[in-house]
Structures are given as C-alpha cells and as structure tokens.
C-alpha cells in the first residue's frame, strides 16, 4: 500500500486538504481501512464541490452585474444630449 498511500497523500495535498486529515487518510490507507479512506476522500470531494459552487455563485452574480451595468449605462448614454450638457459623470 506504500505507493497508494503516497499517491493519496499527494492527491489530498494538491487539493489543499489540511495536514491532519492528510495524515489520517494516509494512515487509514496504510492500515487497510478502505471504508474510512474512501469516506475521507468523499468528504474532501464534497468540500471542494462546495467551494466550487460558492465560486460559481459569485461568478454568476458578477456576470449579472456586468450585464446590468452594460444595459443601464447604454440607456444613460442615450439620454445625454449630444453637446454633453447635463452630464455629471
């Protein structure tokens, strides 16, 4: 299980898993506790997905604001007289 536990450790470190959980997962793997090792991997997968979804919500909000700014600024620009009077921006 040496190579597998090393790969497991490398994987979890690459995923920014904390050192305590990495050590626990490696130990579980080396001791042949497959269910515990898989549970820890699934927990980290869930954590990463939660982070991904939170980031996606942020990206969606920014995209929405970019669209609104484009539309509303275009409307304001159309309302400004051509000689530029009345514009306070």
Cα gap 32→78, rounded to integer Å: 70
- pLDDT tens track of the chain, all 89 residues? 579 999 999 999 999 999 999 999 999 999 999 999 999 999 999 999 999 999 999 999 999 999 999 988 887 888 877 665 554 54
Task: Output the CA–CA distances (angstroms, integers) from residue 55 to 59, 72, 74, in the order listed.
Answer: 6, 26, 29
Round to whole Å and give the CA distance between 69 and 83.
23
Per-residue model confidence (pLDDT) at position 48: 96
């Amino acid at each position: 299980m040496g190579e597998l536990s090393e790969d497991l450790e490398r994987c979890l470190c690459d995923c920014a898993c904390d050192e305590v959980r990495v050590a626990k997962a490696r130990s579980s793997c080396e001791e042949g506790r497959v269910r515990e090792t898989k549970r820890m991997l699934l927990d980290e997968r869930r954590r990463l997905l939660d982070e991904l979804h939170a980031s996606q919500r942020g990206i969606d909000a920014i995209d929405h604001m970019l669209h609104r700014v484009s539309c509303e600024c275009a409307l304001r620009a159309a309302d400004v007289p051509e000689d530029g009077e009345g514009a306070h921006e």
